[in-house]
C-alpha cells in the first residue's frame, strides 16, 4: 500500500464528479486508495470507518474473498455476452436465486445497471402492462413527496426531492405525489413505526385517485422506508393500506428497495418486514455488494404472463440494456448472495 500513499492525479479537472461541490473538492481532494472489510485507506495512509457502507451498498464489507474470486474467474471465462436473443447460465442462476429470496409471487427478474435504471424499467413496465391488457388510458404515475427514485427522468418525476428536480423543467407529464410520512410532531419519542396515523396518510391516495380517476393511473411507487431524504419509517398500517387501495383500483404498486433490499431492515426485502407484497420490487446496491454496477426488477407472474400472449417468435417487451445480466455482474451477484446466506446477513439486522 505504501507506494500508493499521497498519490493524487496531477489533473483533476476532467472528471465532473456527481453530487459534489467540484471546485471545492479539487482544491483539497480526499482520495481513497484501498478498502478492506469495514475500512477505507486514504491516500495519506489513514484508516477511515465506512459507516455508510459506501453509498448504502457494501452490505457485506469490502473486498470479500468469495466475491473477488468470482469476478476474476468469470472475467477469465466469459467476460461479456449479450442478453438480446442470447443467454449465459449465470444470468439465469442469479434470477432463480433472487426469486428464491423474494416475497412469494415475485417470480420473474429483469436486469439493469443501477437503481435509477431499475426504477425506469419498472415505470415503463407498469405503463406497458396496462397497454397489453387493453387498458392503455392508464399512464399516470404516482410518487410521494420527499421520495427518492434515482436521477433519470422517470425517477426524478415520481421523486419528491426538490433539489433533484428543480433544474430540469416540467419532467414527465401525468405525475402526482402523495404526502410524505415525516410528521415530527407525531413521531417524537417513537421507536420504529408510529402506532397511529398510517391509514390516514395512505388514504391520501384515495384523494388523488378521485382527482384523476383510477382508470388513468398505472402505478404507485414508494420506498418502504425512505432513505436519501432521511430515514423515514412509515407508521403502522401505512403500506398495508396502500396495498389495499391499489388492489381495489387495479393500480400496480412498486416498492423501491434499492436501499432497503438485501437485509437492510433484517429481512431479505422490506416487503417481508412489513408483510406487504407489491407488484414489483426495484433493487440494486446490495445486489452485488456495491462491487459491480447491477440492478434488477422483480415482477409478479401476472405482469410477466400478460406480455406472453402473442406469437412465440415475437419480442414481448422492447426494453433492455447492453449490460443487462452481464456475466461478471451476474457472477458477482451470485457470490454476494452466497456470502449473505453463509453469514446470515439477510436477517442479522433484525
Same domain for 220 and 135:
yes
Q: For residues 193 and 225, is the Cβ–Cβ distance under 8 A?
A: no
Same domain for 69 and 42:
no
Taking residues 69-91, report their average pLDDT: 98
- pLDDT, position 235: 86
Q: Shortest CA distance to 246 belongs to which of 224, 221, 281, 273?
A: 221
In a domain, 97, yes or no: yes
Same domain for 225 and 194:
yes
Q: C-alpha cell of 297? A: 426488477
Same domain for 226 and 196:
yes
Q: C-alpha cell of 66? A: 468469495
pTM: 0.93
Tell the burial category of 256 from Cβ atoms under 10 Å away from its Cβ (0-12, 13-18, 19+). Answer: buried
- pLDDT, position 349: 82
**Which CATH number fits the domain that encloses residue 147?**
3.40.640.10
Same domain for 163 and 264:
yes
How many domains are there within the chain?
A: 2
Q: For residues 232 and 201, is the Cβ–Cβ distance under 8 A?
A: no
- Name the CA radius of gyration of the chain, rounded: 21
pLDDT in tens, 196-233: 667 888 899 999 999 999 999 999 999 999 877 667 78
In a domain, 254, yes or no: yes
- pLDDT, position 4: 55
Q: How does the average pLDDT of the chain come out, rounded?
A: 93
- pLDDT, position 1: 43
- pLDDT, position 197: 66
Taking residues 315-343, report their average pLDDT: 98
Same domain for 237 and 103:
yes
Same domain for 127 and 39:
no
For Cα atoms 301, 88, 297, give the angle at the middle one, nearest 5 degrees: 35
Q: If residue 219 lies in a helix (H) or strand (E), which one and from where to where?
A: strand 217-222
- pLDDT, position 199: 82
Order of all β-strands in the sheet with 217-222: 106-112, 295-300, 280-283, 252-256, 217-222, 140-144, 175-178
In a domain, 56, yes or no: no
pLDDT range class, residue 291, cuts 50, 70, 90: very high
Q: State how far the alpha carbon of 235 is from the alpha carbons of 144, 194, 230, in Å.
A: 15, 4, 15
Domain ranges, residue 12: 2-51
Same domain for 163 and 124:
yes
In a domain, 316, yes or no: yes
Taking residues 304-311, report their average pLDDT: 96
Residues 6+ apart with CB under 8 A from 58: 50, 289, 290, 291
Is the torsion defined by CA of 56, 60, 65, 66 positive or negative?
negative
Same domain for 141 and 42:
no
Order of all β-strands in the sheet with 39-42: 32-36, 39-42, 47-49
pLDDT range class, residue 5, cuts 50, 70, 90: low
pLDDT in tens, 145-184: 988 999 999 999 999 888 888 888 888 899 999 998 876 6
What percent of the chain lies above the pLDDT cut of 90?
82
pLDDT in tens, 107-159: 999 999 999 999 999 999 999 999 999 999 999 999 999 889 999 999 999 99
187 has pLDDT over 70: no
Same domain for 160 and 26:
no
195 has pLDDT over 60: no
Amino acid at each position: 500500500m505504501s507506494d500508493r500513499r499521497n498519490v493524487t492525479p496531477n489533473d483533476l479537472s476532467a472528471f465532473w464528479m456527481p453530487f459534489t461541490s467540484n471546485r471545492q473538492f479539487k482544491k483539497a481532494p480526499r482520495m481513497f486508495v484501498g478498502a478492506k472489510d469495514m475500512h477505507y485507506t486514504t491516500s495519506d495512509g489513514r484508516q477511515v470507518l465506512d459507516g455508510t457502507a459506501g453509498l448504502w451498498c457494501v452490505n457485506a464489507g469490502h473486498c470479500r474473498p468469495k466475491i473477488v474470486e468470482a469476478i476474476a474467474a468469470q472475467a477469465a471465462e466469459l467476460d461479456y455476452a449479450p442478453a438480446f436473443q442470447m443467454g449465459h447460465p449465470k444470468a439465469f442462476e442469479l434470477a432463480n436465486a433472487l426469486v428464491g429470496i423474494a416475497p412469494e409471487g415475485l417470480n420473474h427478474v429483469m436486469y439493469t445497471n443501477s437503481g435509477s435504471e431499475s426504477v425506469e424499467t419498472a415505470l415503463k413496465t407498469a405503463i406497458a402492462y396496462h397497454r397489453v391488457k387493453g387498458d392503455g388510458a392508464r399512464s399516470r404515475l404516482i410518487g410521494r413527496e420527499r421520495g427518492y427514485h434515482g436521477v433519470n427522468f422517470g425517477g426524478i418525476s415520481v421523486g419528491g426531492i426538490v433539489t433533484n428536480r428543480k433544474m430540469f423543467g416540467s419532467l414527465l407529464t401525468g405525475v402526482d405525489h402523495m404526502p410524505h410520512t415525516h410528521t415530527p410532531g407525531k413521531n417524537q419519542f417513537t421507536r420504529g413505526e408510529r402506532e397511529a396515523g398510517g391509514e390516514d396518510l395512505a388514504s391520501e391516495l384515495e384523494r388523488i385517485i378521485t382527482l384523476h380517476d383510477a382508470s388513468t393511473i398505472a402505478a404507485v411507487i414508494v420506498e418502504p422506508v425512505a432513505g436519501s431524504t432521511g430515514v423515514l419509517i412509515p407508521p403502522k398500517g401505512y403500506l398495508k393500506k396502500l396495498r389495499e387501495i391499489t388492489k381495489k383500483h387495479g393500480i400496480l404498486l412498486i416498492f423501491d428497495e434499492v436501499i432497503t433490499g438485501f437485509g437492510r431492515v433484517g429481512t431479505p426485502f422490506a416487503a417481508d418486514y412489513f408483510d406487504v407484497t407489491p407488484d414489483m420490487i426495484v433493487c440494486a446496491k446490495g445486489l452485488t455488494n456495491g462491487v459491480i454496477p447491477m440492478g434488477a426488477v422483480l415482477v409478479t407472474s401476472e405482469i410477466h404472463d400478460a406480455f406472453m400472449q402473442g406469437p412465440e417468435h415475437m419480442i414481448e417487451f422492447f426494453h433492455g440494456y447492453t449490460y443487462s445480466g452481464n456475466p461478471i455482474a451476474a457472477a458477482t451477484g451470485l457470490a454476494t448472495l452466497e456470502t449473505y446466506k453463509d453469514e446470515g446477513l439477510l436477517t442479522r439486522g433484525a
